[in-house]
Amino acid sequence: MNFSNVVIILCRPEESRNVGAVCRAMANNSLKTLRIVGKKEDFDEERVRILAIHAASIWENAQFFDSITEASKDCTIVAGTTRRRGKKRGKLLLPEEFAESADSLSASGKVAVVFGNERTGLEEEELDECTMGVTIPSSDEFGSLNLSHAVQIISYHIFRKSLEGKNKFSPGYTPVSLERLGKTVTEIADNLQKIGFFKLAGRPDMEKFWTDVLSRAALSESEAKYIEKIFDKAAGLASKRQADN
């Protein structure tokens, strides 16, 4: 496990003390990279430090962004945490299952875990910015977890996985970031649209599908380019046949 490649993202946290507790939870499990969707000036630094205690350096080095997409564009996969299942949420991994993926991919690429607002969790639109989902099983009678507790649980599973001292899979290359993957997905969608595969209104869902699938595949740069060539050639052949007819 390459802990420096594991990124914790807090989306719209409200309580400064919770942010401090998150820093401490991260430090307990050797994680140091914190990114926050929000503005630094909205937090009470003194209250953050009260619960961060000796992990205040994580807060001091935290980066702030306007969206999950911006905060995770250099990552290979982005896992949104949620306890609610929905049509667009797909298969939700358990913490230990996600730790397995993180162990493999963090060897050469960044892996992000996103935690939502304390009251509302991640909204549907925010989950759409993630490429996979993770859920922490909890009581049906009271399923909502404190933000820092959720971070602690996920981080602990990641840390425990590292103690096994081996990777079941090491890609031997640097997987492309989501920002780079976006170029491949655009190329796929452009070529599918050229041959009339879907109506314009269906493009966002198609792009979301390919982003989620290809991010889990952890493509190399050469693989991304090869896929682009395949779809470009397929669209060219389809156009030629239409012209011949």
pLDDT of residue 197: 86
Q: Considering the entire predicted model, what is its pTM? A: 0.81
DSSP state of 94: P
Per-residue pLDDT tens digits for 32-49: 999 999 999 999 999 999
Helix (H, G, I), strand (E, B) or coil at 57: helix
pLDDT of residue 90: 64
- Dist CA 31 CA 26 (whole Å): 5
Identify the architecture of domain 3-162 in CATH: 3-Layer(aba) Sandwich (3.40)
Domain residue ranges of the chain, discontinuous segments joined by +? 3-162, 178-244
pLDDT band for position 88 (cuts 50, 70, 90): very low
DSSP state of 30: T
Per-residue pLDDT tens digits for 144-183: 899 999 999 999 999 999 888 555 555 567 889 999 999 9
pLDDT band for position 85 (cuts 50, 70, 90): low
Q: Sheet containing 33-37: which strands, arranged edge to edge?
A: 63-65, 33-37, 6-11, 110-115, 75-81, 132-134, 92-93
